[in-house]
Structure 1
Amino acid sequence: MKKITIGFCLFFCAVSLAQEKKVHLISLANEKNTALESDFYIEKIYDGRQVKENIGTVYVSLFNNKVAANFEKPFTEELSSLLAILYPKTENKRAISIRINELYVTESNADTDNNYKKKQTGSATVVLDIIEKKDDGLHYITGTFFSSKEDSRSDVTKKHAQLITLAIKNSFENYKNTQDTYKIAIPFVSDETINLDDTDAKIKAGIYLNYKDVFNGKLLSLEDYTITKYKEGFCLLSNATGRVENGFYGFSDGNNFYINLFQFSTVKYYLKTEILGVNYFIDEVEERNLDFNSFYLAYGGMVAMGGGLLPALIFSGSGSSEPQKIPLLIERANGMPTFLTDKYVMNMLESNAVLLKEYKKTKRTPADKKMIYKKFYNF
């Protein structure tokens, strides 16, 4: 009996380990997809995502392990195949292009009163820019459209292809029906690069659609929007519609830059940052509002937090009922996060005995960690 028990344990451990390395593949090909009425077709698709390694995370297997999700085909190829069916090129249709700023799927456990019928909520989010050619022969971004679709069921993973397709369709429907295009279109250049050395620490006031736009000075005027405090962060309201605009990469009020954490946050708002070298520094984020597993999987286990392969457990054992807060660094070019946990700071200070001694005397609050970090790197 003992051998059988050990055998089962080894089997489940092996399966669990195998699942940790699995990537869930999604195909948008579906015989039910048909052409939609439109006066345009999609000429080119530009991948403007900052995180290109995958398209989010899903739960798989009887262990309900969270794994990275990706398309079966390369990103733009998968979308091109779908859009060629939905918006086919025909005579008399005008050509538009799109830049995908965000496209991701997420899953979470849904609230239910029946413990025997637990459900999961899956969502797909798409943020895309419409690019049109003007009379001067140049291309401009004329609007940005955001859509999110969700579904709840016992196994929602198989619904993600449909949810992505619905989100894409809805984005284009919003484009077809809106009169709210940008008053001043934003020039679009497909091969823009990032140069941190040429970027001032102070970011010009405006709204930035994409992470590259911050470096290249491509922005939308802030005059048609209102910045409003919301929970631990801020939200952006359209003065024309009163709608909350949470599809932008970030915005600057001229003094501070506010960043959108997109799929890594369970609450949709912008957080105020400070620029420290190549990083955006966020003074503190609430642990309960972050999806650490998605961070971890999105960056292939490269998330810096001071140790351990179970990032969701880094605060366990605190004994506090208060929401746990932590400083967060986000690398401006690639979005790589670094969580200033106590362990991370202690490891960082191993080479500096003076600062290590000073840190040990503090209460190790987020403010203390920021102070020590800035001293360590001479900011």
Structure 2
Amino acid sequence: MKKTIFTFYMFFTLGAFAQDNEVHLISLANKNNLAIDSDFYIENIYDGRQVTENIGTVYELFNNKVPANFEKPFIEELRSLFAVLYPKKDNIKPISVRINELYITEASANTETNRKELASATVVLDIIEKGADGKEYILGTYFATRENTRSDVTKLHPALITAAIKNTFENYKNSKQVYQTPIPFDQDEPVNTKNTNIKEGVYLNYKDVFNQHALSLEDYSITKYKEGFCLTNRVTGRIETAFYGFSDGQNFYINLFQFSTVRYYLKTEIMGDRYFIDEVFESNLDFGGYYVTYGGMIGGLGGALAMTLISNGNNTSELKKIPLVLDRVNGTPTFLSDKYILRILESNKELLKEYKKTQRTPADKKLFYMRIHGL
């Protein structure tokens, strides 16, 4: 019996150690990559991701999730790839790109007869060109996801990322739709993180929300979808799932594709430097993946709380929906589970006593979260 307990303990300890210390490194260098016939080459690459610490998660030792990253620095890895796929040549135009999202995921794709994993790579980028005035403008935003299913998919990610990137540029080459009013772009523009007044419009990137650079909402229609909302292009009829968010002039709606398996936008309430979302379906959330992705950013007590939240995913006594708070600058999620609220109230006995008398609804959790943080 003692041997069994010791074995289990070592399995759990080694798995936890691996999850906290390992990083899976990915290289996009591949001798099979060939130049693509194009009328452009990539002049500048701008990193517009909100989460820059890693590019997602993969399964490693003991089937634990660990963060993934490129072998080279992010921009350097992409520059090397673009130099091969879209080389600089005479008589072709230079374009620049802003990478809004580039991340990979792995998930179980088990069937009754097979135990398989699903790997996916997602890329969202803006195409930037110089205008007649010599300034840079965003002409369009392009999105692609590539997936594959096998018993072990970790080695597939370089090819999937490359395929997703190539597809975004194919969409750019083949698309006749560009923004009617290009968005001015300045990589060095200061970000006004204190701005909480979000004007009506469609926002491509989290920085654009602070600096009020948006597409006109008149070109899009908002429709209800499940517990969220969809944004539809009035010209093409396409459902737009790649934007960071949009404002109808009254409320800001944020894209939850990083936090949910369903692509839609949810209405938020702005609380200073945070977005508050009333309820997100727990069944669509991957707490383990969030801990790996954001744990290093949270640190300290926050990391411990993230681990507490993971156990809530299997707690049938928990509500099927959970309030979510997002940091407006770095995107760190905080899931307001009952356990989380109890933990943060431990240092304030009066508030803890008050909270325990409530029904512990999303509104209750929001109220006490705001009180403990002085919001």
Within-5 A mapping of 1:1-379? 12-13=11-12, 15-20=14-19, 21-61=21-61, 63-114=62-113, 117-197=114-194, 199=195, 201-301=196-296, 302=298, 304=302, 307=305, 309=307, 311-319=309-317, 324-377=320-373, 379=375
Contact 2:104 2:122 in 1 (8 A): yes
Contact 2:42 2:95 in 1 (8 A): yes
Displacement of 1:306: 7.0
SS at match of 1:170: helix
Contact 1:234 1:269 in 2 (8 A): yes
SS at match of 2:368: helix
Displacement of 1:371: 2.8
Unaligned runs of 5+ in 2: none
Indicate the RMSD between aligned Cα atoms, in angstroms.
Answer: 2.1
Residues 37-77 of structure 1 deviation map (CA, whole Å, 9 limit, x = unaligned): 1000000100000000000011123x211111110100000
Q: 1:363 to 1:80 in 2, by over 3 A?
A: same
Unaligned runs of 5+ in 1: none
Displacement of 1:14: 5.5
SS at match of 1:125: strand
Return the letter of the residue paired with 2:133.
D
CA distance in 2, matches of 1:128, 1:144: 6
CA distance in 2, matches of 1:224, 1:367: 34
Return the letter of the residue paired with 1:247.
A
TM superposition score normalised by structure 2:
0.93
Displacement of 1:305: 8.1
Displacement of 1:9: 5.0
CA distance in 2, matches of 1:105, 1:315: 22
Return the letter of the residue paired with 1:150.
E
Return the letter of the residue paired with 1:309.
M
Displacement of 1:243: 1.3
Contact 1:104 1:263 in 2 (8 A): no
The structure in which a higher percent of residues are helix is: 2
CA distance in 1, matches of 2:187, 2:293: 25
CA distance in 1, matches of 2:156, 2:110: 19
Residues 254-275 of structure 1 deviation map (CA, whole Å, 9 limit, x = unaligned): 0000111233311111111000
Contact 1:288 1:324 in 2 (8 A): yes
TM superposition score normalised by structure 1:
0.92
CA distance in 2, matches of 1:270, 1:374: 23
Q: Number of residues paired by the alignment?
A: 371
Displacement of 1:375: 4.3
Query: Among the aligned pairs, what percent are the same residue?
Result: 61
Return the letter of the residue paired with 2:187.
S
CA distance in 2, matches of 1:180, 1:227: 20
SS at match of 1:142: strand
